[in-house]
Amino acid sequence: YCSNRSPGPPAASPAPPGRSARPGAMRIAMFSWESLHSVSLGGIAQHVTELAAALERLGHEVHVFTRRGEGQQDVEVVYGVTYHRVSLDPNGKDFVDAMGDMCNAMVWAFGATQSRIGKFDICHAHDWMTCKAMVQCKNSHNMACVFTFHSTESGRSQGWGQDAVRALEGEASFVADRVVAVSERLRGEVTSIYALPDSKVWSIPNGIQCGRFDGFIDPAEVKARYDIGALDPMVLFVGRMVGGMKGADVLAEAVPGILEAHKNAKVVFVGDGDCKMHCDHRSKELGVEGACRFLGPRSGAELVDLFKACDCVAIPSRNEPFGLVVLEAWAAGKPVVASDQVGCPVAHGHDGWTVSCTPEGIVWGVSQVFEDFPRARKMGANGRVRAAF
């Protein structure tokens, strides 16, 4: 699902009662713990926001029930989509319990909205955090329900994780009328773990708004902002640096080998979390801190500039059911060096390189970029075509 217009901050307007007059239009409720117009933490926010906007453009009436960020209104219409925001106060609670409280608040807001404007036709929950909201709607209102897996607890935790979360995923996938997985790899994982019939689980890959990566930038000017030389090759990592799922630590271990391939190379880490401190410390232990830039979280035009200024994007994930960052790299015209755990299919040697999730694998892939920059640029152009079409 892909929006053709920007989801940036618009003017607010009151929520309109009643449904669209378009034949076949549905009133849709979405449950998500994040969105670009509430609290935004990762790829689910972009997915939900763009999907909601796309459905609205098709003539459906879309309501997104999500968390409230600081200073935000309880109800706001953004590009025709009504956002209902609820409070989340963990107050020292276990995270699973806190998500249960959030779901209860979402269901209350859902019920109040339905009483005011009329019955919803379908509800759609995203990932385990909103499982309970969808299950309550199914049990209380016998609604048609869709549940989207963006990942699984088993995959995120490499087979460990919390039994409580797995139980929520299992219940939601059983109760839902349809289950969506964001890649064919994840579809196989979900079907196997939760013993679901093939006909119930659909693989619908993510999309991206390529237009926001259009336009000219001066790579030298962008690099200079971060004390990187105009001719220094630049490797970019973008992702949450929480735990080891995104593999930032794998890339940190690869930096010495990357410098052997090109002594002036720079590796830029964009993201935040406990792994950021580990990677920073490790770069000092390895004596390569001068080649690393730890920028913390970045978004908007600054992040787009970083994508467009780099020579390749490294995706060393240990578990990546899809990998929106692959599409972002391609939209910016950059090749990827992606681990073989990334769900978005990379055409090896055509729009990137698929490597093992090891420092040696990452070094090999990045070395391919450094050995033939014109070929790497051509591969990035191939990626742009794939992202757009």
Tokens of 153: 């607890």
Q: What does the alpha-carbon distance between residue 1 and residue 26 come to, in Å, rounded to a whole number?
A: 17
Query: In the prediction, which pLDDT does 337 show?
Result: 98
Query: In the prediction, which pLDDT does 160 show?
Result: 63
Which residues of the chain are in CATH 3.40.50.2000 domains?
A: 27-203, 210-388
- 352 beta partners: 336, 348
- How are strands ordered across the β-sheet holding 352-355? 292-296, 266-270, 234-238, 312-315, 336-339, 352-355
Q: What does the alpha-carbon distance between residue 38 and residue 379 come to, in Å, rounded to a whole number?
A: 36
Report the 10 Å Cβ neighbour count for 156.
Answer: 18
* pTM of the predicted model as reported, rounded to 2 decimal places: 0.86
Report the topology of domain 27-203.
Rossmann fold (3.40.50)
Homologous superfamily of the 210-388 domain (CATH): Glycogen Phosphorylase B; (3.40.50.2000)
Query: In the prediction, which pLDDT does 162 show?
Result: 85
Q: What does the alpha-carbon distance between residue 250 and residue 223 come to, in Å, rounded to a whole number?
A: 23
Q: Is 158 left (phi over 0), alpha (psi -120 to 50) or beta?
A: left
What number of CA atoms fall less than 13 Å from residue 354's CA on the CB side? 10
**Which residues of the chain fall below pLDDT 50?**
1-17, 19
